[in-house]
Amino acid sequence: MPAKLLMIQGTASSVGKSIIVTALCRIFKQDGFQVAPFKAQNMALNSYVTREGGEMGRAQVVQAEACGLEPSVDMNPILLKPEADSRSQVIVCGKVAESLTAARYYEHTPYLFSIVEECLHRMRQAYDIVVIEGAGSPAEINLKEKEIANMRLAKMASSPVLLVGDIDRGGVFAHLVGTLELLTGEERDYIKGFIINKFRGDLQLLRPGLETLQSRTGKGVLGVIPYFRGITIAQEDSVYLEERKKNSPTGGNLDIAILHLPHISNYDDFDPLEMEGCKLRYIDDATELGEPDLIILPGSKSTIADLLHLWRVGLAEMVIEQARKGTAIIGVCGGYQMLGRSIQDPQRIESSQEGALGLGLLDILTIFEASKTTTQVKARVIADRGLLAGMTRQEIMGYEIHMGQTKSGETSPFHIFETPQGKVARLDGALDQSGLILGTYLHGLFHNAGFRRAFLHTLEQRQGISGPAATEIETRERQYDRLAELVRSSLDLAAIYRILDGGIDG
């Protein structure tokens, strides 16, 4: 019997669709069902590499973890990674297809929709419940005939829909009613109820609005989810990063400055540092840099464009000056490439520029090539100085997602010894003579608890800081359980199960 379906759509981007799907996946798993997530088309710069080497959106990886599943590209068949010049790299079933403008992309959606249908069909044969996440809003009336992730998908799959609105932004009732008004009568029939997200305050004061909403639309509010903090689950939306910057912590035993690149990617690489008590600051311009204990150059989807941006706003010179003062610096993926002498793109694969001058802090040279490296890896630390002192033979797990190959005249800090395809023997990254400037292609470095704690201890000792007593970061499993507990207590789950059983007629 094919899986039952439930689709979560939103009145806009960043209203909390991803986190609610994650919570529902965990709740259904706790209730004994084989459940899986699905998102037809995702636009995100935070991505992940599966065991098979396929690339998919980070949100669906988190949702798969909440289900207790190995991530699969079938859960996110189409991934769009925005690039410079109003283009996106289009990834189909985990592999790069081509780079397209928005107009040309929509010419391909009939074909892409057939791929989506095939992937969802496979998912439905394997699970009891599939929870589908929409994209943006279903009421983008200029795109409705060509979109493949909202109402067209709900109609194709005959999936009931719950519509989520964000009350923290203000105007949630107008957003919910306005979304319905812009849908056709048939589309409105697919929506079985509302969820109001990010509520702060007295629920009793909200009830008159809930009653008016139901009276006006004929659809009930199935839950009001409180605004929460302290549940640390990776999110991929750039709006989330902006909100995080506004609410950055004021304390912390180590001050870590992360350059907020225009095309920043995989910034969840650094979430574990914050959970260890570090103060993470996302820096937009040179005046914000200050005198941090560590500077991180993160990944980028448009490395040359972002490198030129650093020079243009004066951050490149500030980072170089901090390096001269002995500040520790790490570059990951695109950030690693920026630390070198230059980045060259002779085939114009990533940029309209032929290349760009790097920061010159590592003796490396990167040349972009048409092929893209996407693989999970196991590696060992092989350098023993500076930031990696005393860490030799520490094992780490991570993954690579990058265009281009880097030639290095520096010591390699890591030895990759295994991928899902078998044993390998190759080097990764670069470490300068001081040991304080480190570059690597390995995403997920700080998700390795042993490496993370040893690294922070070394940095604290170097800075003369007495770190907090070692504490066990709450496991991801417990984080998912806490999220499920909060959302379960806020939803009418009996009604949601009736909707699941009744489908679009429920």
Determine, yes or no, domain membership for 237.
no
- Please report the beta strands in 227-341, taking only residues with DSSP state E, as ranges in sequence order: 255-259, 264-265, 279-283, 294-297, 299-300, 328-332
Q: Are residues 413 and 489 in the same domain?
A: no
Q: Would you say 270 and 452 are in contact if contact means Cβ atoms under 8 Å apart?
A: no
User: Residues 317, 320, 325, CA angle at the centre, nearest 5°?
Assistant: 125
Confidence of residue 403 (pLDDT cuts 50, 70, 90): confident
Tell me what pLDDT residue 474 has: 64
C-alpha span between 14 and 135 (Å, rounded): 10
In a domain, 473, yes or no: no
Q: Which pLDDT value is given to residue 367? A: 95
Q: Which of 388, 395, 376, 396 is nearest to 412 (CA)?
A: 388
**Lookup: tokens for 419:** 């991928």
* 278 counts as catalytic: no
Rg of the Cα atoms in the chain = 23
Q: Quote the CA–CA distance of 393 and 412 in Å, as a whole number.
A: 13
287: which DSSP letter? G
Give the pLDDT of residue 492. Answer: 96
Task: Tell whether 239 is covered by a domain.
Answer: no
Angle at 445 between CA 337 and CA 46, to 5 degrees: 70
Does a structural domain hold residue 380? yes
HSE-CB for 27 with a 13 A CA cutoff: 21
Residue 295 domain boundaries: 246-463
**What is the rounded distance in angstroms from the CA atom of residue 128 to the CA atom of residue 50?**
23
- Cα-Cα-Cα-Cα dihedral sign, residues 211, 214, 220, 223: negative
Instruction: Determine whether 25 is an active site residue.
Output: no
Domain match, 215 and 157 both: yes
Q: Please report the pLDDT score of residue 228 as a whole number.
A: 84
Please tell me which residue in 25, 67, 278, 333 is annotated as part of the active site: 333
- DSSP character for 253? S
Instruction: Say if residues 451 and 380 touch (Cβ distance below 8 Å).
Output: no
Q: Residue 140 falls within a domain, yes or no?
A: yes
Higher pLDDT, 504 or 122: 122
pLDDT at site 215: 95
Q: H/E element holding 417?
A: strand 414-419
Host H or E run for residue 324: helix 315-324
Tens of pLDDT, residues 89-113: 999 999 988 888 888 888 889 999 9
What is the predicted pLDDT for the residue at 11? 96
8 in any annotated domain: yes
Placement of tokens 């078998």 in the chain = 422
Is the separation of the CB atoms in 335 and 439 below 8 Å? yes
Active-site option among 175, 415, 443, 447: 443
User: 485 and 428, same structural domain?
Assistant: no
Q: Rounded to whole angstroms, how far apart are CA atoms 96 and 263?
A: 18
pLDDT at 246 over 70: no
Quick check: 350 pLDDT over 90?
Answer: no
Contacts of 83 (CB under 8 A, 6+ apart): 89, 99, 263, 301, 302, 350
Percent of the chain residues topping a pLDDT of 90: 77
**Domain identity same for 273 and 375:** yes
Closest C-alpha among 176, 195, 147 to residue 7: 195
Is 222 in contact with 500 (CB distance < 8 Å)? no
- Residue 465 is predicted with a pLDDT of 78
Report the pLDDT value the prediction gives residue 351, as an integer from 0 to 100: 78
Mean pLDDT over the full length of the chain: 91
User: Quick check: 282 and 452 in contact, CB under 8 A?
Assistant: no
The pair of three-digit structure tokens given for residue 279, joined into one six-digit string? 């103060």
pLDDT tens digit sequence for 38-77: 999 999 888 999 999 999 999 999 999 999 999 999 999 9
Task: Verify that 258 and 158 share a domain, yes or no.
Answer: no
Q: Model's pTM, two decimal places? A: 0.87
Q: Quick check: 207 pLDDT over 60?
A: yes
66 and 19 housed in the same domain: yes
pLDDT tens for 6-20 read: 999 999 999 999 999
**Which one has a higher pLDDT value, 143 or 485?**
485
In a domain, 411, yes or no: yes
**CA quadruple 346, 350, 353, 358: dihedral sign:** negative
Give the model's confidence band at 25: pLDDT under 50 very low, under 70 low, under 90 confident, else very high.
Answer: very high
236 assigned to some structural domain: no
CATH of the domain at 19: 3.40.50.300
Per-residue pLDDT, 369: 87
User: Are 259 and 369 found together in one domain?
Assistant: yes
| Predicted confidence band of residue 352 (pLDDT cuts 50, 70, 90) | confident
Q: Are residues 210 and 312 in the same domain?
A: no
Which amino acid would we find at residue 489?
S
Same domain, 79 and 155: yes
Task: Tally the domains of the chain.
Answer: 2
Give the helix/strand (H/E) hosting 244: helix 238-246
Average pLDDT over residues 158-178: 96
In three-state secondary structure terms, 249 is coil
| 115 and 179 housed in the same domain | yes
Are 192 and 289 in the same domain? no
Q: What is the pLDDT of residues 471-504, one digit of tens each?
A: 555 678 888 999 999 999 999 999 999 999 987 6
Name residue 54's amino acid. G
Residue 185 and residue 57 share a domain: yes
- First-to-final CA distance of the chain: 18
Q: What CATH number has the domain bearing residue 396?
A: 3.40.50.880
Q: Is the pLDDT of residue 278 over 60?
A: yes
Q: Please determine, for residue 303, whether its predicted confidence score (pLDDT) is greater than 80.
A: yes
Cα separations (Å) of 347 from 96, 192, 342, 369? Answer: 17, 51, 15, 8
The total of other beta-carbon atoms located within 10 Å of residue 184's CB is 10
| Residue 426: predicted pLDDT | 95
